[in-house]
Structure 1
Amino acid sequence: VEARDGGAGPGWRLHAWEHDDEAVVRGWSALFDAWTLLAPVPPAALRGVFTVLAGQAVDQAPQLLSFLHLVDGPVADSELLELLRRGLDERRVGGSGGAGLSPVPHAASAVSAVRGTCREPQIDTPAAPADVAAVLDWMLDGLAAVGAVVRRNDAAELSPLGHWAVRAKLEEICTVAQTAAGHIEQSAYELLNACADYSPGPARAEYRAWVAARPADRAVAELLDAAQGDDALVRGLAFEALRVAGGTAEQAVRAAVDEPVLRPYALLWLAEQSDEGVSPADVLGAEDAAWLWVDTAAAVLDHGETELLVGHVEGASAGDPVRLFARARQSGHPRAASVLTAVSGVHPDPGVARAARRSAFSVHTGGA
């Protein structure tokens, strides 16, 4: 929903759900990631041991979900209890604990509702069976509350949605494992800089792996932060990576429309996501188009052959380069003067070169 005129009305996501089944599933996936927030905290939580076990058990949830996915049928609560107990014991003695499938990437923050904001203490002795049973009950209730697990007759099994979620997370892990160059531990800026030298296919594979290796909202935020820097090429590549993120990035990209540096890229990204087949000319106004032209020309100037600027002019001028240069100098882009100067130095047409030079001079002198 969206706040509107002192009330609330349907938001863009609700409109998308009306005609896009995949959007509904993506929305549910976010709910699945936050399952820890939906289960009522049991009275045992008043004792400190429960808060510690709950935080540790969240890290064991991937193992339980993977087991349920492999069994593909009801599993007795007693068997799940034993699986959880062993996992907690392994963690206590320094075992692998939470390694493997991680279908709850937001668990660290979500479980704060149970364990508070203090650093999690460790349990040096085996947890009491009653405490482990209480934590398991809380976990299964939370997963059932989001529709991922069905509980009946002292047993639990994954729902069709639960199987889909686990399978999707496993596919993400496979994508990460298959990445060729291994940029998943780098920052967004380092990733984009590295992928600047890749062809589109391998670059998309790196983007997919990088996005899959971290919570979606964090990945999107890091990419948008990198896009706001001075490097125009990185900005363009950031939105290529956001295309891999897909609908999970939509809300953040909509907010980015209000950022002048990101606005043209964000508008084009949103238009592509809408699947309405609109052209860039239908999406960008004259000012946005001029700003984007200067920005992409700056990327060419910094990272490509300056001769490519000739084609950049021809592709956007529609036979009227003077008009293009006039809009460029009025765009407010900080690189307008340097781009126009570079064009004037490489364009083979003397008339076009003079027009670019005059526009560059006008930027320097503040002319209209």
Structure 2
Amino acid sequence: MSTIDAMTANPDPAGAPGSGEVPEDVRRLLLRVVKNSDARLEDEVRAWAEEVGPEQAADRLAAFVELADLSPIRQLAFQALTFVGEPGGAAVQRLREHPFTGPFATAWLIQHGHLPDDALGPSDELLAIAESLAAMAAIDAANVVAGLRTTGDGGRQHEVVAQLWRVPHPGVADVLDAVSRAHPDKGLAKEARRSLHKLRSSRG
């Protein structure tokens, strides 16, 4: 499923019932960027933020991140927060409490000098990896292998795959399945199958 498919097939990607409504203007904005190769996220977001006001833009983007249930959409909205100015920082701080984007929020705050370098712990790092790989798996499972390689050398990749089953993220099963099927390293593919088996066993 492409990001476009995800956004059009699931136009109101809310979380739990009653948790709120996804801001429609944010969905339209992100869909325009995804569908139009000439549309740059930064330019589109800055123009929109000037129209609605930076505070409103930050609040709506944060609400979208909190309610979206698909990793690619969630990550695109999170990236957009970078371009709304100072209010984006407060919104990112709020997103530290989000179960999936929390590590990204922490990393953003570290990068911008709001938190010390050691604020991102090992479990946060693994969750961030799971979120990134889940976004890739949702678009094209073949991308997961390339994404996994960005985590480090072969040993580090084995370590990540071996631990992913412990991460409380709904996309982990798809990630491990993709690695088990597509990774050219047979040992790593086997590790992914073993981790996937542990995940399924732990969920009954």
Alignment TM class, shorter chain as reference: 0.7 to 0.9
Count of residues in correspondence between the two structures: 179
Tell me the residue number matched to 2:57. Answer: 219
CA contact (8 A) 1:239 1:269 kept: no
Aligned in 2, Cα 1:221/1:194: closer, same or farther, shift over 3 Å?
same
In the other structure, the counterpart of 2:163 is 327
Is 1:285 aligned to residue 121 of structure 2?
Answer: yes
Which residue in the other structure is 2:172 paired with?
Answer: 336
What is the CA–CA distance in structure 2 between the aligned matches of 1:244 and 1:292, rounded to whole Å? 21
Instruction: Name the counterpart of 2:78.
Output: 239
Secondary structure (helix, strand or coil) at the match of 1:196 reads: helix
In structure 2, give the amino acid aligned to 1:330.
Answer: R
Identity of aligned residues (%): 28
1:196 CA displacement? 2.8
CA distance in 2, matches of 1:335, 1:316: 17
Partner residue, 1:308: 143
Name the aligned partner's letter for residue 329 of structure 1: W
Q: Which amino acid aligns with 2:187?
A: G
1:227–1:238 CA contact under 8 A, matched in 2: yes
TM-score, structure 1 as length reference: 0.45
Out of 104, 114, 122, the position equivalent to 1:265 is 104
User: Counterpart of 1:327 in structure 2: which amino acid?
Assistant: Q
Quick check: 1:209 aligned with 2:50? no
In structure 2, what residue type is equivalent to 1:357? R
| Aligned counterpart in structure 1 of residue 93 of structure 2, from 239, 254, 268 | 254
Question: Does the 8 A contact of 2:127 with 2:169 survive in 1?
Answer: yes
Deviating 4+ runs (over 4 angstroms): 197-201, 275-278
The Cα shift of 1:337 comes to 1.2
One-letter code of the match for 1:234? I
For 2:19, the equivalent position in structure 1 comes to: none
> Which amino acid is 2:143 matched to?
L
- Letter of the structure 2 residue corresponding to residue 236 of structure 1: Q
Give the equivalent residue in structure 1 for 2:134: 298
* Counterpart-to-counterpart distance in 1, 2:38 and 2:81: 14
Q: Distance in 2 between matches of 1:267 and 1:246?
A: 17
CA contact (8 A) 2:46 2:83 kept: yes
Cα pair distance change 1:264/1:201, threshold 3 Å: farther
* Structure 1: gaps spanning 5 or more residues: 1-184
2:30 aligns with one of 180, 186, 192 = 192
Quick check: 2:165–2:198 contact (8 Å CA) kept in 1?
Answer: yes
Q: Distance in 2 between matches of 1:189 and 1:283?
A: 31
Aligned CA distance change for structure 1 residues 264 and 196 (closer, same or farther; 3 Å): farther
Label 1:296 to 1:196 Cα distance change in 2 as closer, same or farther (>3 A). Answer: farther
1:191 CA displacement: 1.5
The residue identity in structure 2 corresponding to 1:314 is R
1:291-348 per-residue CA deviation (whole Å, 9 max, x = no partner) reads: 1111111111122x32221121111143222210132111111111111011111101
The separation in 1 between residues aligned to 2:198 and 2:79, in whole angstroms, is: 34
Amino acid at match of 2:92: V
The structure having more radius of gyration, on CA atoms, is 1
Residue type of the alignment partner of 2:201: T
TM-score (norm 2): 0.78
More strand by percentage: 1
Change (3 A) 1:259 1:275: closer
